[in-house]
Structure 1
Amino acid sequence: MKTRVTDLLDIRVPIVQGGMQWVGRAELASAVSNAGGLGILTALTQPTPEHLRAEIRRCREMTRQPFGVNLTILPTVSPPPYGEFIDVIVSEGIKVVETAGNSPKDFIARFHDAGIVSIHKCTSVRHALSAQRNGVDIVSIDGFECAGHPGEDDIPGLVLIPIAAKALSIPIIASGGIADGRGMAAALALGAEGINMGTRFVCTQEAPVHERIKRDLIGRTERDTNLIFRTLGNTARVLKNAPSNEVVATENRPAGCTFDDIRPLVVGSRGKAAWEAGDVDGGVLTAGMVLGLIDDLPTCAELIDRMVSECRAHLSRALSYTAEALLPDVVT
């Protein structure tokens, strides 16, 4: 499959693995890249820039194909050492960086000087247009269905993707709510030139997540997510479990809540431990509505091959409707 996204990223199929905290590690990124997509390491999963350097080198031992690094720019009083993480990314010769969160405009010139293709995740067209003006190469447009932070506008992909495709001149990647070839075909038909998947890649054999978590996820439905931090203006979509249910209940109290009221429930170390130990109720776990489409645990290669085959079949089937409609006119 050939699009501007495959050309820019030097990959065989336009499928990108989302950068996922605690999950975007060498085992998964290398498997996605070996299967023809673009694997992504998550920089902030690593405790220090030098740990990221070691993870990049470990990933290179597992694949000779391109892979990228996600750098989420967090609005925080004590930010991580972003400059040092970027120094590692550049010095290690990484050619694709996916940014998320705040605007990456302060880093784009550095990326381009190093020959790095920049992807920025956006949840609205206005932010996507700003990213384009700031010089990013690709926008990953994130619909309301997505895991993680869907923004505050609540616009689903069926509306957001074609609006973004019409508004932008740079290529877009559709993100959120895609788990199979049908979703991929739909995204391409709506104007995207690639797709991004997170939750679907968690449910693969290579994902560095405990088997109990994976088995629990494939038994869930599209109704098994919670939206937390809604009252704090920083909405996040996560798996419906004991701690996220408690967060929602706390936010819905008549008196409302502050972040300090829910901090013990959402602290990142609890989520990391839950992913690794297989304790579904151990912490807040990010997951998207796409859970309703996931019912197996393939390898990344099996998943990508199947998706490409399904995508082609569904695009051909849709095209056949037009051909059949035109057939009487052609005959006459």
Structure 2
Amino acid sequence: MKTRFTELMGVEHPIAQGGMQWVGTADLVAPVANAGALGFITALTQPTPEALLAEIKRCREMTDKPFGVNLTILPTLTPPPYAEYRDAIIQGGVKIVETAGYKPQEHVTELQKHGVKVIHKCTAVRHALSAERMGVDAISIDGFECAGHPGEDDVPNMILIPACVDKVKVPVIASGGIGDARGLVAALAMGAEGINMGTRFMCTQEAPIHMNFKQAMVEGDERSTDLIFRNYRNTSRVRKNAVSQQVLELERAGKPFEEVAHLVKGARGREGYQTGDVDAGIWTAGTIQALIHDVPTVKELVDRIMAEAEEIIAGRLARFGGAGASAAA
């Protein structure tokens, strides 16, 4: 199944595994690459640029297929050394980067000088147009269903994907609320060139998190997330648990972020991933939990999605179109 995404990135399948804090390590990325999809190491999961370079080398020892690195730029009083992380990506010979966050122009320009293709993650069409003007090679558009930060516009993918495709010329990857073949075919039908999955890849055998989290996602449904930080105009979709409920209670009481910060520290969530305590801290997961029913290997998941997508296109959709659609399929 060739698309502009597979051609541009040199991968077999139009499926990407986006960067995920504490999850996007070589342990997951290499199996994704070996399955013919595109995986991303999460740069800031690594404590230093030197550690990122070592992780890139470790991943390369595990796969000879293309993989990328996610570099998320967030405005903060004490920013990490983004330029040094970028240099580690370049030094490591990585040729695909997923950027996200605040004004990536400096990084886009420097990465492309070294032959790196850049996909920028956006939550709104206006942001996608801005990224296209910056010269990015592709857009990953995140609908309201996504885990993590869905933006503040609350536009679901049935609207956001075609709205973005109508406006930008570079390839668009659909992200948020996608985890099976139906999502892939629907995204392609709306004009996307591929899909990006986060939560679904978390729920695989190779994902480096405790099985308790994977089982929680299997047991979850479309109501098993909370939207926190709405009062602070920094909305985040997380798995509903004791901590997220406590955060919402404080927000409803009008408390400033300073009174919430201790609950949402990244270290708490990371510790939970290691110990298996799903209530240790907040952790991101999307509404796609409603469609997650097992914990396969990465290869089993990718192979299943591609096989079922072919069946949908050649079978179910062809029946609606008659002989012409069947021939096209």
What is the TM-score normalised by the length of structure 2? 0.97
Residues 51-130 of structure 1 mapped to structure 2, 5 A cutoff: 51-130=51-130
Give the corresponding residue for 1:314.
Answer: 312
In the TM superposition, residue 262 of structure 1 has moved relative to its aligned partner by 0.4
User: Matched residues in 1 for 2:55 and 2:96: separation?
Assistant: 15
In the TM superposition, what whole-angstrom CA distance separates every residue of 1:300-324 from its partner, at most 9, and x where no partner exists?
Answer: 1000000011111112221330126
Give the corresponding residue for 1:330.
Answer: none
Residues 1-332 of structure 1 mapped to structure 2, 5 A cutoff: 1-253=1-253, 256-316=254-314, 317-323=316-322
Q: Which amino acid aligns with 1:2?
A: K
User: Matched residues in 2 for 1:153 and 1:161: separation?
Assistant: 14
User: Matched residues in 2 for 1:273 and 1:147: separation?
Assistant: 19
User: Matched residues in 1 for 2:299 and 2:28: separation?
Assistant: 11
In the TM superposition, what whole-angstrom CA distance separates every residue of 1:254-303 from its partner, at most 9, and x where no partner exists?
Answer: xx121111011100100100111110000101000000000101111000
What is the TM-score normalised by the length of structure 1? 0.96
In the TM superposition, residue 2 of structure 1 has moved relative to its aligned partner by 0.7
CA contact (8 A) 2:317 2:325 kept: no
Q: 1:64 to 1:192 in 2, by over 3 A?
A: same
Q: Which amino acid aligns with 2:146?
A: C
User: Matched residues in 1 for 2:227 and 2:99: separation?
Assistant: 22
User: Matched residues in 1 for 2:27 and 2:39: separation?
Assistant: 10
In the TM superposition, what whole-angstrom CA distance separates every residue of 1:80-113 from its partner, at most 9, and x where no partner exists?
Answer: 1000001110011100000111121111121111
Q: Which amino acid aligns with 1:153?
A: D
User: Matched residues in 1 for 2:74 and 2:17: separation?
Assistant: 20
User: Matched residues in 2 for 1:183 and 1:21: separation?
Assistant: 24
Runs (4+) of structure 1 exceeding 3 A deviation are 324-327
Q: 1:133 to 1:283 in 2, by over 3 A?
A: same
Please report the RMSD computed on the Cα atoms of aligned residues, expressed in angstroms. Answer: 1.2
Q: Which amino acid aligns with 1:264?
A: H
User: Matched residues in 1 for 2:303 and 2:325: separation?
Assistant: 32
In the TM superposition, residue 326 of structure 1 has moved relative to its aligned partner by 9.1
User: Matched residues in 2 for 1:277 and 1:56: separation?
Assistant: 26
Q: Which amino acid aligns with 1:299?
A: T
1:165 aligned counterpart, secondary structure: helix
User: Matched residues in 2 for 1:319 and 1:96: separation?
Assistant: 35
How many residues were matched structurally?
Answer: 325
In the TM superposition, what whole-angstrom CA distance separates every residue of 1:134-164 from its partner, at most 9, and x where no partner exists?
Answer: 0000000000000000000000000000011
In the TM superposition, what whole-angstrom CA distance separates every residue of 1:38-96 from its partner, at most 9, and x where no partner exists?
Answer: 11100000110001011111111111111100000011111110000011100111000
Q: Which amino acid aligns with 1:113?
A: K
User: Matched residues in 2 for 1:113 and 1:287: separation?
Assistant: 35
User: Matched residues in 1 for 2:59 and 2:324: separation?
Assistant: 50
In the TM superposition, what whole-angstrom CA distance separates every residue of 1:177-235 from its partner, at most 9, and x where no partner exists?
Answer: 00100010000000000100000000000000111111111111110000000000000
User: Matched residues in 1 for 2:195 and 2:155: separation?
Assistant: 17
User: Matched residues in 2 for 1:117 and 1:319: separation?
Assistant: 35
In the TM superposition, residue 325 of structure 1 has moved relative to its aligned partner by 9.4
Q: 1:30 to 1:325 in 2, by over 3 A?
A: closer
Q: Which amino acid aligns with 1:275?
A: Y
Gaps in structure 1 of 5+ consecutive residues: 328-332
Q: Which amino acid aligns with 1:201?
A: F
CA contact (8 A) 2:318 2:325 kept: no
CA contact (8 A) 2:33 2:63 kept: yes
2:317 aligned counterpart, secondary structure: helix
Gaps in structure 2 of 5+ consecutive residues: none
User: Matched residues in 2 for 1:14 and 1:71: separation?
Assistant: 21
User: Matched residues in 2 for 1:163 and 1:212: separation?
Assistant: 38
1:61 aligned counterpart, secondary structure: helix
Q: Which amino acid aligns with 1:86?
A: R
User: Matched residues in 2 for 1:2 and 1:18: separation?
Assistant: 20
